[in-house]
Structure formats: C-alpha cells, structure tokens
Amino acid sequence: MKDPKDEKGIHTDFINRMTYGEYLQLEPLLSSQKRLSGHHDEMLFIIIHQVSELWMKLILHELSASIEAIEKGELSMAFKMLARVSKIQSQIIEAWDVLSTLTPSEYVQFRDKLGQASGFQSHQYRMIEFALGYKTTHVLDIYKKDPDLHQTLSEALHKPSIYDVSIQALAAAGLPIPDETLNRDVTVTYKGDQAVEAAWLEVYRSPEAYWDLYELAEKLIDIEDWLQQWRFRHMKTVERIIGFKKGTGGSSGVTYLKKVLDHRFFPELWDIRTKL
C-alpha cells in the first residue's frame, strides 16, 4: 500500500482555507448528540433517529423538485429524482436493523428521559406524507409550539401531492379525467377515482404509447412499496423493543403502526394490477 506521505500534492496548510469539517459543519453536527441519561445505548437511539431525519430531509428535497418537474411536463427529470428517493428509502429501512440491536432491558433504562417526545412528532415525516398525498389536519396541533414550523406544515398541507400532479399529467396526455378530480381540494387525502383508474389502465395496456406515464407509475409504486416496508420494519422494531406498550407520544404504539399499514397512497396503481 502506498504511504500517504509519498503523495506530494496533498494539502496540509488550512490556516486560510476551508476544511472538510468546516464545509460539512461537522462540529455542530457531531456535538448534537446530547444524552439525557448515562446509559451507553442512548447514543445509538439518538444517532439512528438523527440520521433518519437527515435522509428524510433529502427525500423531501427530491420529492419537492420532482413535483415541480412533473408540473412542468419534465417527467424524465422527475424519474432520476424519484429513483434516488427509492434508494434513500432503502437506507432508512436498514437503519431499523441497527436499532433492533437495542434490547427491551437496555431501552427501559433511558426511555423515561424522552418524556412525551416521540417519532410521531417528526415534522419531516408528516411532510413526506403530505407530499405523497396523505393529508391529516389534526397533526398540525403538534407543532403549535413553533409558529414557523406550524406555518411550514400548513403550507405543505395546501400544496398538491405528487399524485395530484401525476393525475394532471394523465389529463395533459389526453386521457379523460373529470374536472372535479383535477380541481379537487388538495388538503383532503385522496381516496380514488374510477376515471383515474381507467386512465392508468390505458397506460398499462399501451405502454409504448404512454411510456413516460408508464415509467412514472412504476416510480410511484416503488416509493409506496418502500414506504410500506419502512412502516412494517418500524412496527416490528417497536414491537421487538417495547411490545404493546403505549408510545411516548401517547399513541397506541404497535397497534397504531399496524393500522397505518393499511393506507394506500396511489390506490389505482395497485388496483389495476388485478384488472390487467
């Protein structure tokens, strides 16, 4: 192996230059793990959730840009972003495997330090749900403590989801979509529409004629598939660590997490598989 000292061009003088750590803001980032107990495994718990929040920030970055691209009719640009979202989701899913190394006996040593803090309160997760079309106004109450954050969530609630703009893309391609569907209240969770199902069915029956829409549909299926896998791993990890105890945020815990597994973001894209 070549010795690093033989690399004559390596920069070592950073008195007046930006370093790697400065660019990435590593000092504040790596000093943000503040354990509230003296327990060794609390560090694992904090880092797993912080890393997941960073990945969610990138998911939102990509989803927001892909929604804008679809609105502009630039579907090929959206495909790259959505493919990246799916890869990010795989990373978040694997994080549950790391957290699963935390045993019930270990977690109980510091769980009370969380108070009522819970992943249920993750505003970024709520924004991802909003971006995918699952809109719930009652969760906004959680964020009243921070007016700026509450405003951010409220604005996200009133924006069209990626499925809303995908349905608009169906109409732009000449497929018949009712005006009431195109102009629906985007603050309400989408429930499904027979005309939208018929349009997607036509896309899947004639993929050569609607190749971009066909590819868009499969990208959406990828994202929902991965999200449901993330939800399932979340539920099983919680069950493994705390069983059927209530969540620190007041939810029913595993019982609640099992219920959300039933929700479908893009119902027609799943239903047409039976009808093809």
Q: Is 45 annotated in some ligand binding site?
A: yes
Instruction: At 258, list the tokens.
Output: 């099992």
Angle at 92 between CA 259 and CA 57, to 5 degrees: 100
The secondary structure of the chain in percent helix, strand, coil, rounded to multiples of 5, reads: 65, 0, 35
Domains within the chain, CATH numbers bracketed: 36-272 (1.20.58.480)
Band of residue 5 on the pLDDT scale cut at 50, 70, 90? low
Over residues 235-239, the mean pLDDT reads 96
Q: Is 47 annotated as a binding residue?
A: yes
In sequence order, the 6+-apart residues with CB closer than 8 A to the CB of 184 are: 164, 190
Q: Which amino acid is at 166?
A: S
pLDDT for the residue numbered 4: 62
Residue-wise pLDDT tens digits, 148-190: 999 999 999 999 999 999 999 999 999 999 999 999 999 999 9
Q: What is the pLDDT of residue 3?
A: 67
pLDDT per residue as tens digits for the range 187-208: 999 999 999 999 999 999 999 9
| Per-residue confidence (pLDDT) for residue 9, from 0 to 100 | 81
Q: Quick count: other Cβ atoms within 10 Å of Cβ 141?
A: 9
Check whether 234 is labelled as a binding-site residue. yes
Residues 81-103, mean pLDDT to the nearest whole number: 97
Mean pLDDT (whole number) for 123-127 = 96
Tens digits of residue pLDDT in 247-264: 999 999 999 999 999 899
pTM attached to this predicted model: 0.94
Could you give the percent of the chain with pLDDT greater than 90?
91
Is 92 known as a binding-site position? no
The reply, when asked if residue 123 is annotated as ligand binding, is no
46 annotated as belonging to a binding site for a ligand: yes
For the cut 70, the answer to whether the pLDDT of residue 210 exceeds it is yes
Is 49 marked as binding a ligand?
yes
Is 70 marked as binding a ligand? no
Instruction: For 21-79, write each residue's pLDDT tens digit.
Output: 999 999 999 999 999 999 999 999 999 999 999 999 999 999 999 999 999 999 999 99
Q: Which of 66, 58, 63 is nearest to 91 (CA)?
A: 58
Residue 219, pLDDT > 80, answer yes
Give me the chain's average pLDDT, please. Answer: 95
Q: Which amino acid is it at 67?
A: I
Task: Band the pLDDT of 8: cuts 50, 70, 90.
Answer: confident
